[in-house]
Structure 1
C-alpha cells in the first residue's frame, strides 16, 4: 500500500486539505499533528515531504518512485531533517543540531523541512530551544511536529503552530483491521481505544501482556471503588511489576482512564456497550453505575485522566498510581 492510499483510507479529509494547501502555496511554517498512535501523522508528514520535493507530481500527488521520493522514504534526503527521541526523551542537543542544520542553505533547491516525532517527549530545555526557532522562521522552512499526547507539550509550542487534530479511525474499521491481523475480537475492542497502529497493538499482546494487565487492573479497580486498602498494596505487588517499561506504564495509565470513561459512558448512557474499552466487564460496570452518583464519577474520571500527565512530570509510575489510589478512596467512600 502506498502512502497516499494509506492516508486516503485513514484521513481522506486531511489528505485533501493538504493537497489544496500546497497547490495554493499556502503552507504554514509550523504544524502540530496530534492524534492517537497510528492515526496517520507520520504518513501525512512523509506525503507532504514527497509532495514538496517530488520531480513528477501528477494531479497533486507525488509519484513516490522518483529519486527524491525514494530518498525521503528512506530518510536520506539532505534537506529534510528528522528528530526522534533518544531513549525516552528528545534532548536539547538534538534541537541544537536541527537549528544548526537549518541555519545553512538548502543543499538542493530552496526549501527545507524538519520533522520532530514524539514531540511531547522534548525536555523543557529542548522545547524552549525550539520555541525561538518556530517563532522566528527564516527562509523557506517548514516544521512538522508529531505527537500522540498534545497535552504534554508546552502551551507556547502549541500556540505557535497550526494544530491539526487527527481523528481516531472509525471503530468498526479499526476493529476489522485488528481482527484481520489475527488479534482476537475482545482484545481488539480494548486495543482500538489505545492505538490505531496494528504494529503497536501486536506489541502489546506479546507474552499476553495486555490481557494480564487488563485483568490485574480490573482487580485493582474493583477494590478502589470499594475503598479497599488492598488496592494500595496491589499497586506495588502487581501493577508496578507488570509495567516495568515506560511504554507499558503509559498504556497502563491509558487503561486506567479508559476504565473510568467506560463507567462514565454507561452511567450517562452516552455510548453503546460495543464502544467500551472493557466490554468484557459490561455487566459489572453497569451494576456499579447504580451505586455511584454523577459527582463521584466525574471527579474520579478527571483524576484518572490527569495521571498520565504526572508520569511525564518525572513522578515515578508507582507514586502516580499510589497517589491516584489514595485520592480515589474518599470519592467512593459513600455510595449514592
Structure 2
C-alpha cells in the first residue's frame, strides 16, 4: 500500500483550494458547483474541505479549523446540514433526488447553510437530472450544491450551465507509476492501471487483482480480433471469452475503458506521442495497427467505444452492446 495518498491529493490541488478560499473570503459562495476531475484526483476530499470551510465555526485565514464541532461532524459524516448521495446500483435515481430536495427544503436541525454533495453526478438518470434541474433553477434558502464527476460532458448541459465548474488538476501520473514500480508492479501494468485511476492506493490494489490482469489481457486479444477484420471471429470472442469474465456491468465498463485506452494508444503512436501510452508493452503491435488505420478510421472506432459506454448505463443488453460495438469498429460505420 502507498502511504499519505490523501495528503498527496490535497497538495496537488492547491490551485483549486486557493480558488475556494478566495470564494469564501469574498463571501461570493454560489448555489451550485461542479468539481470535475479524473478518478482519484481528490474530488471528495476537496468537497469535504470546502464544506468544512463553509460551515466551520472558527475559520482562520479562510482555512477550516478542523477542530470545532461542525468540522468534526462533517469529517465523521454526521452533520445534519450536509447530505451526500451516491448511485443506487448503477445510477442515481429520481427517488433519491426527490428525498435529497425534501431534506434541503425543510427546516433544518441547525441554522445556517445547507450543503449537498452528489458523487458520480454523471450517473444521474434522466429523471433524476430533470428533478435536480428544477431545484437548481429555483433554489430555496441558503443551500449550496457540489456535484462531483470524472465525466463533465456526461452531465446534462442545462445542469452545467447552472453550476460553476471547478476543474481539478490532473495528478502526476509519472510519479504514481514510479511509486508502483518500486512496489514491484511491472512498468506495463503500472502504465495501464494509472489510466484507470489517479489514486495511488487504489491503483496498487487493482494491480493485485487477478481479475484486472485478466481483463487487460482480454482487451488486448479483442483489439487483435477487431483489427483482423474477421466479424465472425470477433463475435465469437465476445460470446466465448469476453462475457464469461465481464459478468457485471461494472466489469464491462472497466473492459470498455481499457479498450478505449488501447485505441487512444494507437492514435498516440500514430502521432508520435509514445510517452503517454497505457500499454507500453504493446508498442510494436500498436505501431502496426496505426499504420493500417487512417485517423478518420480511428476516430470512428473511438467514437463507437464512447457511445457503447454511454449505452451501457441505459441498461442495454450487454452481449448485444458488445456485438454491435465490434461490428461498428470493423465496418467503420456508426449504428444509428
Q: Same fold (TM over 0.5)?
A: yes
Structure 2: segments with no counterpart, 5+ residues: none
| Cα distance in structure 1, aligned partners of 2:204 and 2:249 | 17
| Cα distance in structure 2, aligned partners of 1:296 and 1:3 | 40
| Cα distance in structure 1, aligned partners of 2:24 and 2:51 | 11
The 3-state SS of whatever aligns with 1:193 is helix
| Cα distance in structure 2, aligned partners of 1:2 and 1:192 | 17
Q: 2:258 aligns with which of 250, 255, 260?
A: 255
| Cα distance in structure 1, aligned partners of 2:52 and 2:147 | 17
Q: Compared with structure 1, are the counterparts of its residues 180 and 49 closer, same or farther at alpha carbon in structure 2 (3 Å cutoff)?
A: farther
The 3-state SS of whatever aligns with 1:64 is coil
Shift of 1:165: 2.3
| Cα distance in structure 1, aligned partners of 2:127 and 2:186 | 43
Shift of 1:245: 2.1
Aligned to 1:118: 120
- Pairs aligned (count): 330
Q: 1:157 aligns with which of 152, 156, 159?
A: 159
Q: 2:242 aligns with which of 230, 239, 243?
A: 239
Q: Compared with structure 1, are the counterparts of its residues 275 and 205 closer, same or farther at alpha carbon in structure 2 (3 Å cutoff)?
A: same
Q: Residue 189 of structure 1 contacts residue 277 of structure 1 at CA under 8 Å; is this kept in 2?
A: yes
Aligned to 2:44: 42
Structure 1: segments with no counterpart, 5+ residues: none
Shift of 1:179: 4.0
Q: Compared with structure 1, are the counterparts of its residues 176 and 293 closer, same or farther at alpha carbon in structure 2 (3 Å cutoff)?
A: same
Q: Residue 232 of structure 1 contacts residue 322 of structure 1 at CA under 8 Å; is this kept in 2?
A: yes
Q: Compared with structure 1, are the counterparts of its residues 4 and 201 closer, same or farther at alpha carbon in structure 2 (3 Å cutoff)?
A: closer
Shift of 1:144: 0.5
Aligned to 2:309: 308
| Cα distance in structure 1, aligned partners of 2:247 and 2:327 | 22
Aligned to 1:299: 300
What is the alpha-carbon root mean square deviation over aligned residues?
2.2
What CA deviation, in whole Å up to 9, does each residue of 1:52-71 have, x standing for no partner? 12223222211223221111
Shift of 1:183: 4.0
The 3-state SS of whatever aligns with 1:192 is helix
Question: What aligned pairs does 1:97-108 form with structure 2 within 5 A after superposition?
Answer: 97-108=99-110
Q: Residue 80 of structure 1 contacts residue 114 of structure 1 at CA under 8 Å; is this kept in 2?
A: yes
What CA deviation, in whole Å up to 9, does each residue of 1:68-114 have, x standing for no partner? 11110111001111111222222222111111111123432321111
TM-score by length of 1: 0.91
Aligned to 1:325: 326
| Cα distance in structure 2, aligned partners of 1:145 and 1:182 | 36
Q: Compared with structure 1, are the counterparts of its residues 135 and 55 closer, same or farther at alpha carbon in structure 2 (3 Å cutoff)?
A: same
Q: Residue 235 of structure 2 contacts residue 323 of structure 2 at CA under 8 Å; is this kept in 1?
A: yes
Mean Cα deviation higher: 230-239 or 287-296: 287-296
